[in-house]
Structure 1
Amino acid sequence: MYDWPNFATRARISEWMDASHIPDECLRAALQDLRLTNRLLGGYAATHAALDPLFRRRDELTMLDLGCGSGDYLIDLVRRGTQFGCTVRAIGIDANPATVGHARAHLDAELSPPFRSRTRAEIGDALALRYDANAVDVTHAALFLHHLHGPDVPALLREMNRVSRTGLVINDLHRHPLAWAGFWAFSRLLRLAPMVQHDGPISVRRGFRRRELEEVARDATLAAPTVRWHWAFRWTLSTLPTQN
């Protein structure tokens, strides 16, 4: 008999994406399909909900995107800002050199020179950023927090808060059986990359409940954090002000 997963607590199960070495073709296919899932399952929309009010009020913003993957959020952020008359300059940080290489290639392929000049991807440790305090306006991390456990979770929030002048945005998964079963079926119906089929349901099990995010925000001593739910089974945790 199949054992139904336990959703009461965060799972401590490794994802293939966490490996120190990933065959390049496997990584390329997974990053491509993650862009698709972000588009179809509300990933970009959740970040938009948190950032659009700020884009409307500001003429320009500097941003750090942690765990940047293929750079898809960098592309989305600079384009989204332009829709509101806001010039966004965005830097992506990822610990995996191969992933950063894919991000740079994706930025080159997708962005025109004016947009490309406002983005870059760097190798770095999100828990020990090589940036001074208040170095950028906003720090952002999508589908990255669930890769961390224990004290590293509030440590990431503290580091994001340290380098941001205006606030931070976390975009991550709601740990819920419907999200787990739904993504299991979605990834197989669309014949997504094997890594995405394997890691996606695990990512959901490593995701968060509202109370857990609120507790982590308190542990990180964040000022006035807001946790909101978004379709499909996404959370945003934000410290962005409601007005300037």
Structure 2
Amino acid sequence: MQRDIAAIEEMERPDADPALLERTYAQFRLVNLVVSGWRGVYVRLVRPQLPRRGTGTILDIGCGGGDIALALLRWARADGYDVRVLGIDPDARAHDFSTRAAASAGCGEPGVEFRRATSSELVAEGASFDVVVSNHVLHHLDPPQLAGVLADSQRLARGLAIHSDIRRRRSALLLFGLATLPLAGSSYIRRDGLTSIRRSYTRDELSRVLPPGWQAHPQGPYRNLAIWHAEARMAP
């Protein structure tokens, strides 16, 4: 199955139906809880980078509905860490939803903040974070955008950058299509999720497009992690 780089997700369109888009953002939390594996990524990779003393910082690029940023904040606090999480997304609709989600969850400053911004804007501001993450972002990007986000991640991360994304497989299309049948028509989750799978990379494809210092790691049968450690700055 070839990567379908021409496919466009409905929620990316400027004229996307507001009600369907709102329900899509709301359903991200459930879908990501089932398929994204961020709890394990947090335990194995994110948590060891957080300081035991002082305040740790996490950046979530392309945060969408904000559920991953809020989950990372909740897990870190439960483990006794003082942490601040910033979620950024250039889409005003995503920013509006994530801001409201944080307010309804009772997560105000200084715990979490959502901004309508890009990673390049944060680089220009001189920002830095212990850990930089993204979820389901890489497959959306064309080659120049991908190179830009990865370069920005290196500049922004003091410790570690982790970009988690779908791994394209025919069985993933079948299983996701069947599992999300109850959501068909209620949001863009099923339609756009199938498009995302078709747009996503295999592990070998991702390895080939990652710049030096980055590594593609498998996470289960249907996910890839693109990982960069700050130690790579010191490599010859």
Smaller-chain TM-score bracket = 0.7 to 0.9
Partner of 1:214: 207
Provide closer, same or farther for how the CA distance between residues 123 and 133 of structure 1 changes in structure 2, counting only shifts above 3 A: same
Once the two structures are TM-superposed, the CA of residue 194 in structure 1 deviates from its matched residue by 3.3
Once the two structures are TM-superposed, the CA of residue 190 in structure 1 deviates from its matched residue by 4.9
Q: TM-score, normalised by structure 2?
A: 0.87
Percent of residue pairs bearing the same amino acid type = 22
Provide closer, same or farther for how the CA distance between residues 111 and 228 of structure 1 changes in structure 2, counting only shifts above 3 A: farther
C-alpha deviations, 1:181-240, integer Å up to 9, x for none? Answer: 11111111455733111100110111111122222222xx4x3x3332223611111123
Partner of 1:27: 21
Once the two structures are TM-superposed, the CA of residue 127 in structure 1 deviates from its matched residue by 4.7
CA-based RMSD:
2.3
C-alpha deviations, 1:2-52, integer Å up to 9, x for none? Answer: xxxxx2334320001211243321111001111111011234235324313
Q: 1:123 aligns with which of 112, 116, 131?
A: 116
Question: How many pairs are equivalent?
Answer: 229
Q: 1:144 aligns with which of 124, 137, 147?
A: 137
Confirm or deny: 8 A CA contact 1:139 1:169 kept in the other structure.
yes
Q: Does 1:78 align with 2:46?
A: no
Q: Does 1:94 align with 2:94?
A: no
Q: 2:190 aligns with which of 197, 201, 210?
A: 197
Q: 2:33 aligns with which of 16, 26, 39?
A: 39
Partner of 2:224: 235
Letter in 2 for 1:30: T
- 2-structure distance, mates of 1:81, 1:240: 20
Ranges in structure 2 where 5+ consecutive residues have no aligned partner = 232-236
Provide closer, same or farther for how the CA distance between residues 58 and 168 of structure 1 changes in structure 2, counting only shifts above 3 A: farther
- 2-structure distance, mates of 1:112, 1:137: 20
Q: 2:47 aligns with which of 47, 52, 58?
A: 52
C-alpha deviations, 1:118-144, integer Å up to 9, x for none? Answer: 211111134544544462222111011
Q: 1:169 aligns with which of 162, 166, 184?
A: 162
Question: Which SS does the other structure have where 2:118 is aligned?
Answer: coil
Of 185-194 and 67-76, deviating more is 185-194
C-alpha deviations, 1:68-112, integer Å up to 9, x for none? Answer: 111111111111112332222111111111210110000001134
- 1-structure distance, mates of 2:123, 2:16: 26
Q: Does 1:105 align with 2:114?
A: no
Partner of 1:61: 56
Provide closer, same or farther for how the CA distance between residues 134 and 106 of structure 1 changes in structure 2, counting only shifts above 3 A: closer
Provide closer, same or farther for how the CA distance between residues 101 and 190 of structure 1 changes in structure 2, counting only shifts above 3 A: closer
Question: Which SS does the other structure have where 1:22 is aligned?
Answer: coil
- 2-structure distance, mates of 1:235, 1:138: 18
- 2-structure distance, mates of 1:46, 1:203: 22
C-alpha deviations, 1:137-156, integer Å up to 9, x for none? Answer: 22111011111122211221
Ranges in structure 1 where 5+ consecutive residues have no aligned partner = 1-6
Letter in 2 for 1:109: S
Of 186-195 and 28-37, deviating more is 186-195
Once the two structures are TM-superposed, the CA of residue 62 in structure 1 deviates from its matched residue by 1.1
- 2-structure distance, mates of 1:44, 1:240: 18
